[in-house]
Amino acid sequence: MNTPPGCSQDFDNGFDQIPGLTWQPWVGSQWAQRPAERRLLVVGESHYALGTTSEEIARNIETCSKHRSYTREVVSESLVEDDWATPTLRNIPKMLFGAKTLDRLRFWSEVGYYNFVQRQMNGPDGERPTGDDFLDGWPVFLHIVELLQPSFCLFIGVEATNSFWHGLQKAGWEPFWPERRSKVSRTWGRHAVLEVGGKKVELVFVQHAGRYFSWQGWNEHLQREHPALMEWLRDERYAVE
C-alpha cells in the first residue's frame, strides 16, 4: 500500500532507528507545520488479529508483524475513510468532539497515532497485553516523543500507567508516578508531564475506549481537567454541528 492521503513519511528514517518499534506510527502530513504547543499524539493500546482457526490467526499475526505500515492502514481505512470501525476507534473522535461531524482527513492530517504495545494480540482468544508488553512499550514511546516532539499525548487506556515508573527507569529516565485526576465511572484519569528536549509534554490517560466506555463522560473529563487541549481543538474547527 502506498502512503495514504494525509500521512507523512518524513519521520520514517527516524522510526527505523527505534529499537522495538514494530509498526510505523501515523504522522499527519501537516504535523511538522503545527505550532509546537498544538501537537496531539493519540496513543492506542494494541492491534488484534482475527481468524477462524488457530492456524489462520497465527499466520495473520506473523504477516502483520512484518507489515510496517499496518497501523497507518488502520488509521486510513477506519479513522480517515470510515470504511470500517471498532468501538474503540469509533469512540476516539466522539470523546474529543462529541456528536459533531468531523472533517476526518483534515484532523488526521494534523495529528499522530500509534499503538503502545508492539505485539499483536490473538483477538478470538481474548488475549490481553502482559505487564512486560507495557513495560517494553515505554522506551519505544520515549523515542517516538523525542522524534516527533508532541505537546500532548492522549493514551486510550490507563493500564500503561501501572508500568510508568519502571518503564521510565528502564529507559534511563528519572522515574516518578503519574497523578490521579477525576474519576469517570470506575476509572481514574491520570496525568503526567515529561520534559523532552527542554519542552514539556503532557501525558493524559483515559479509560480504554472499548466496551462500557462513556465518551460523554470522558469528553466532560477532558473539558474539565485539560481545557487548553479542548480549547485549541475547538479553535481549529475540525468539527461542525
The answer to whether position 194 is within a domain reads: yes
CA triplet 212, 216, 218: central angle to 5 degrees?
A: 75
The answer to whether position 3 is within a domain reads: no
The answer to whether position 176 is within a domain reads: yes
Q: What is the pLDDT of residue 197?
A: 87
Contact 232, 179 (CB under 8 A): no
In tens, the pLDDT along 72-114 reads 999 999 999 999 999 999 999 999 999 899 999 999 999 999 9
The answer to whether position 90 is within a domain reads: yes
Instruction: Using the predicted structure, report yes or no on whether residue 209 has a pLDDT greater than 70.
Output: yes
pLDDT band at 2 (very low <50, low <70, confident <90, very high): confident
The answer to whether position 72 is within a domain reads: yes
- How far apart CA 207 and CA 11 sit, in angstroms, is 29
Among positive and negative, which fits the CA dihedral 37, 213, 44, 176? positive
Q: What is the pLDDT of residue 1?
A: 55
Q: What is the pLDDT of residue 98?
A: 93
Which residue range(s) make up the domain with 55?
Answer: 12-240
The answer to whether position 5 is within a domain reads: no
* List of residues 6+ apart from 202 with CB closer than 8 A: 151, 152, 153, 191, 192, 193, 226, 229
CATH assignment of the domain containing 64: 3.40.470
Percent of the chain past pLDDT 70, that is, above it, reads: 100
The answer to whether position 4 is within a domain reads: no
pLDDT band at 164 (very low <50, low <70, confident <90, very high): very high
In tens, the pLDDT along 141-161 reads 999 999 999 999 999 999 999
Q: What is the pLDDT of residue 238?
A: 97
The answer to whether position 164 is within a domain reads: yes
Q: What is the pLDDT of residue 126?
A: 87
Mind giving me the DSSP string for 17-41?
A: TSTT--SPPEEBTTGGGS-TT--EE
In tens, the pLDDT along 3-28 reads 899 999 999 999 999 999 999 999 99
Counted domains in the chain: 1
Cell 488475549, residue located: 127
Print burial letters for 168-206: b (CB count within 10 Å at least 16), e (below 16): beeeeeeeeebeebeebeebebbebebeeeeeebbbbbb
